[in-house]
Amino acid sequence: MEQRAAKPGGIVAFTSSDQVLEFKQRIEVREARIGVVGMGYVGLPLALLFSEQRFNVTGFDVDSRKVDTLNQGGSYIVRIPGAEIQLARENGFKATTDYGEIAGMDVVIICVPTPLDEYHEPDLSFVSGTVISIAPHLHEGQLIVLESTTYPGTTEEIVVPLLEQGSPRGLRVARDLQSNGFYVAFSPEREDPGNDTVARRDIPKVVGGCGPVALELASAVYSSIFNRTVPVSSPAVAEMTKLLENIYRCVNIALVNELKQLCMRMGIDLFEVIDAAKTKPFGFQAFYPGPGLGGHCIPIDPFYLSWKAKQFDFHTRFIELAGEVNNAMPYFVVENIIEGLSRQHKALCGARVLILGMAYKRDIDDLRESPSLTIIELLQKRGATVAYNDPFFPTVGQGRKYALNMNSTPLEKIPEFDCVVIATDHSQYDYNSIVKRASLVVDTRNATHGIEAPHIVRC
C-alpha cells in the first residue's frame, strides 16, 4: 500500500487504486467524519442516523438559532424529541455555522431546500450557494453527495462545475481509479414526515455517482445506515427517480381530487368508493383527496421536470394538468364554504371562519406549501375574518403571498365562528365535539366520517 499524506482531522488523501478499500475500511470502523449541510426536515434526521451508528457527525447550517438549539441538546422539529439530540451529542454530534470545518470531513452531504421562484421555475440558489461555500475547503479523496430534490442534470451541470471552479489547487472530480480529486454523487432523500410505520433505515437508498468509484464510495457510506442501497448508472437516473416517485403521487392525487368533485355532483361518497376499490389485491393503490397539496416535494417536483423538459422541446402536458387540478383545490374549498354559508343565509364577506389545521398533513409541524395558507388568503381577500387553530403552530408569520401574523385560536371559541373548516385532520382533534359546537363544518379530509349532522359540508 502506497504512502499517503495526512489531512486535517486524520483524513488521508488517496494516491493509489486501493482508495476504495481504504475508504470502506474507514466507514466500517466508524473513523470517517460525516458532515451534513442543512439541519432541516431532511438533514437533521440523516445526521442522527449516522450518529446512531457511532459516526463522528457535524451538522452545518446558516441559521445560528438552529445551531445553538442543537448544541444545547434541543430540537425544533416535533417528531424529533430532544432526547435524540442529547444522545447524539453524547456520541460526538455537534452543529456549526463555520463552513471552514468542511475541510475536516470525509463525507459531505448536502440537504438544502430546492423551492420554486415566483415564476414557478426551479430556484437552485440554496444548492449553488452551499456548493460555492464548501468548494474552497475540499480535499482529495472527499465524497460530496447532493440529496436535495432537483431536475435531472443538476449534479453534473451545476454542482460539479461549481465545486471544480471553487476548489483549492484546481482539484477536479475523480471519475475513475486513475485520477485524483474529490468524488461526487447524488442520492435523493426519501423522508416522509409523520410516517411512523416505516423506520428510516428500512427505506431503500437510491445512489448515483459521477463514475463507478463515486458510486461505490457513496453506496458504502449509505449502506452503513440503511438496510438496502439501490445503485443506479448515473446521478441523472437518481435525480429522475425522485421526480418519478413524487410525480406518481401528484398525478394520482389529482385524479382522486377530480373524481371527488364529480362524485359530489353525483351524490356518491368517493371515500367509500376508494375503500371498496382498495380491496383489490393487485393493480390498485389507494390515494385520497384533500384541500390541495403541501410539503416540499409533491407540489414542487413536477414543475422541476416540466421546466427541464422544455429544454428538450418537450411539453409535459399530463404532469402540468395534474398540477393545475391540485392547485385549484383550495379554490374549490372556498366555493364550498360560500355554499355552506349561503344555506344558512350568510355571506362570506364579513363571516368569521376558523381553519382547523395549518400543517400540510396530519400530526406534523411542517407548514411548507400548506393549502391552508392559500385558503386563508383567499378567504381574507373575499372579506372574511379568518382565524386558525393548530396544536403544532402557536403562531404563523409568513403566508403564501404576504405575512399573516396570526396566533392559534383556542378551540373553546368554536361557537363564536360562522364556519369551521377542517383543513388538516390532526389526531388530537375531537371531531364529535367540534361538530356539536360549530354552526357549520366544512370537512376537506373526511375527518367527520360516521358523524351525521345537517350542518356538515364534505368536500
Letter for the amino acid at 218? A
DSSP letters for 281-340: SSS-------S---SSSTTTHHHHHHHHHHTTT---HHHHHHHHHHHTHHHHHHHHHHHH
* Secondary element (H or E) of residue 102: none
- The phi, psi pair for 173, rounded to 5°, reads -65, 130
Cβ atoms within 10 Å, residue 95: 25
229: helix, coil or strand?
A: strand
> Which residue, 171, 189, 182, 172, is CA-closest to 213?
182
- The phi, psi pair for 413, rounded to 5°, reads -90, 5
> Which residue, 47, 91, 50, is CA-closest to 67?
47
210 part of the active site:
no
CA-to-CA distance for 360 and 330, rounded, in angstroms?
A: 12
> Which residue, 393, 454, 453, 382, is CA-closest to 423?
393
Instruction: List CB contacts of 414: < 8 A, sequence separation 6 or more.
Output: 354, 420, 434, 437, 438
User: From residue 92, how far is each of 48, 57, 59, 89, 105 by CA, in Å?
Assistant: 11, 7, 11, 5, 14
Cell numbers for 171, please give them: 482539484
* Secondary element (H or E) of residue 58: strand 56-60
> Which residue, 333, 360, 361, 359, is CA-closest to 419?
333
Catalytic-labelled residue, pool 111, 210, 250, 297:
297
Conformation bin of residue 458: beta by default, left when phi > 0, alpha when psi is -120 to 50: beta
Burial of 166 (0-12, 13-18, 19+ CB in 10 A): middle
Return the active site residues: 297
